[in-house]
Structure 1
């Protein structure tokens, strides 16, 4: 019994260990237009650079520090389709619009009386941030949406996201307890027509204060400004600039194998079956799993029968969790079925528990 307790304490301590970076940026100091840069990156790496969050942005800044006084292409370009996004990068799968909304051409969302409306992004409102340690944080300053986003990213994590009905109800109660006047409050929902070259769902944006402004009516591609803090600008796509490619370390294998066969394949041909130990890694998985041809895709997640608990192949405990309802609970009948973990390739891409004999696509670390 004592040995079991010590082992559990050891596993809990592992939850504080951070993951390896899952994307590598490469600065290419050759002048090309955006389409030529895209072709070069796709032929030699994965694609033009995608940015998921501020950690990625800081890596990207370090990558281009020797780029001199020039604009630098990234993989963001304008399309004709408007999509709603969360500032934090969470997919906008749940929306709680009030009747008749969203209406008009406004692009930023606020919450009032528990429901959502759109407004011009330059309107001044209080706002709600999300913080890993304290959860939701009500900020009573009156600012526009972009400044609210900047404040949350600098002082917490980001503007608040709402992923389901339960979180929506929790947020409504949180606001009502702190906002007796019942005024409108910014949340992290916005819409735009910008899309990443690799079709990533990333909604991270790092525009300069007055950008994107579509000066001249044809500024359809994004660059990093040369000046610190290296924010983004929209420019015509036919200009000639250096650029940044990225190389993902995750790869979907479109073969239908059992979990043990998938594990053997990854270790022989790549590194290992993927571990998903954070929200950031889950987003990486969500961006690649849509390439799968099966309804679910194997992860490096297995049920450790003697302890009746789930572990990653590395031996790490499952600290971050994204189980679908009814999955991942203990006890599992793993001794009879030898259950393993997979991620759904559609919908909200939660994790499910399956017998290891199921034959699925899988994700290797590359």
Structure 2
């Protein structure tokens, strides 16, 4: 069996029998320091749970702080943007005594508690103090009630898109991305989509490009090939009608700024990570 037929068989099997529960994903957590991140300060007050939901919908999650160097970078970004003093939600939850967990399940090793903290008798959530005019801008942490209303910081992994202006079938494009990059591009939210559209505009690609989404022919749901949960969709057509037209793969159309279903065998440029 050649590699293409083997991969094709696996995809068809996956699309036929795999139902991914909402919010569940199997993955290997990459060491925090080996990835690059963008940070986003949201100057709007919410409780911790709503702040986390906002970050997960629009970026990756509430910010995780792995070491003092990352803390310094975040504080410097806040100062550079001239933000006012604030107590800011970070991704710490389930705090009791000196314990706690990060909302993205990274190991909780680095700590920067304010003097006397944590001191909440109830399980609580974590904030970071930002003082613009102090030498080190403070950056210490506090535990407080998760229903408090605070601004917050989100993060997103810097994804580097690689568009290939050569036409292939969806399966061939997937194999090419897997062999030469880190898989075919995933669009998890509107921010990532706008970044990809901007990139395609910069390199003058205006025709539809394959992205890493496939439809189950049996169950009818769409899934990302890297296992990401489908939380954001932006179809130009009715995705529920794909089965009758045998349009089971997805493209991004820079002209419509929408996703378009296509038959997987048709040739198109494509985008890898």
Counting strand residues as a fraction of each chain, which structure ranks higher? 1
With the length of structure 2 as denominator, give the TM-score of the two structures: 0.47
With the length of structure 1 as denominator, give the TM-score of the two structures: 0.37
